[in-house]
Chains A and B, each alone.
Chain A
Amino acid sequence: QVQLQQSGAELVKPGSSVKISCKASGYTFTSYDMHWIKQQPGNGLEWIGWIYPGNGNTKYNQKFNGKATLTADKSSSTAYMQLSSLTSEDSAVYFCARSWRYGGYCFDYWGQGVMVTVSS
């Protein structure tokens, strides 16, 4: 069965960077886009970007340009998101989610989420 297993919670200092992971299993990793979505406490959902692991192509929400960097390792079926120059506004839960396209697209499988807390 399809599973997206994300790395554990992170407590990081302002101004630093963090890299979180999303290990995929149960499907062909290189055949589906992997998206990343942010959810701040008590708030809704915000799309960060996607990566196509088959060729490494990426697309970002302009709001996260320079903040998030998406990569993927085909050998381990793992997607990564690095967040840089962290501030309190980056404290949130970050989800990875697989998409499939129907003309538009939807997120059919989600990771369990990683809580990132930015605090000195």
Chain B
Amino acid sequence: DIVMTQSPTSMSISVGDRVTMNCKASQNVGSNVDWYQQKTGQSPKLLIYKASNRYTGVPDRFTGSGSGTDFTFTISNMQAEDLAVYYCMQSNSYPPTFGGGTKLELK
């Protein structure tokens, strides 16, 4: 199975910060990576698909980039409602696998 390693595992941030997190695949996954946001007690929500495409209705402060094995997810202007755990997922080969998540907490 492809291992998706996310870093950091947690971040202490302030409203207005620029937040960047990473996801590294154990082998080439092309651009078949998505990013999800999961708030406490909720189901995950799709933000970015195919590495860099913003899903319908997702604010433009969320961006994704990368291909191959290295991917980056950025929140350009952190808002309080963005506090959550963020997961990357690869769907290039079976089984699809998720990273361990990056948790955003208030400083």
Contact = CB atoms under 8 A, between A and B. Distances in A.
Interface of A: 44-47, 59, 61-63, 95, 97, 102-108, 110-113
Given A102-B49, A102-B50, A108-B55, A44 B98 contact: yes
Given A95-B43, A103-B50, A108-B55, A47 B34 contact: no
Given A61-B95, A105-B91, 9 more contacts: A44-B98, A45-B44, A62-B95, A103-B30, A104-B32, A106-B89, A107-B44, A107-B46, A110-B45
Nearest to A59: B94
Contact of B46 (A46, A47, A108): A108
16 contacts: A47-B97, A61-B95, A102-B49, A103-B31, A103-B50, A104-B31, A104-B33, A104-B49, A104-B91, A105-B91, A105-B96, A106-B34, A106-B50, A106-B55, A106-B91, A110-B44
Contact of A103 (B32, B46, B90, B101): B32
A113 B92 contact: no
A104 B49 CA distance: 9
Residue among A45, A95, A103, A106 with most chain B CB within 10 A: A106
A112 to B, nearest CB: 6
B97 A110 contact: no
Interface of B: 30-34, 36, 43-46, 49-50, 53, 55, 87, 89-92, 94-101
Contacts of B97: 47
A86 B64 CA distance: 39
A113 B41 CA distance: 9
Which of A47, A61, A63, A111 has the most chain B CB within a 10 Å cutoff? A47
Nearest to B29: A104
A83 B55 CA distance: 32
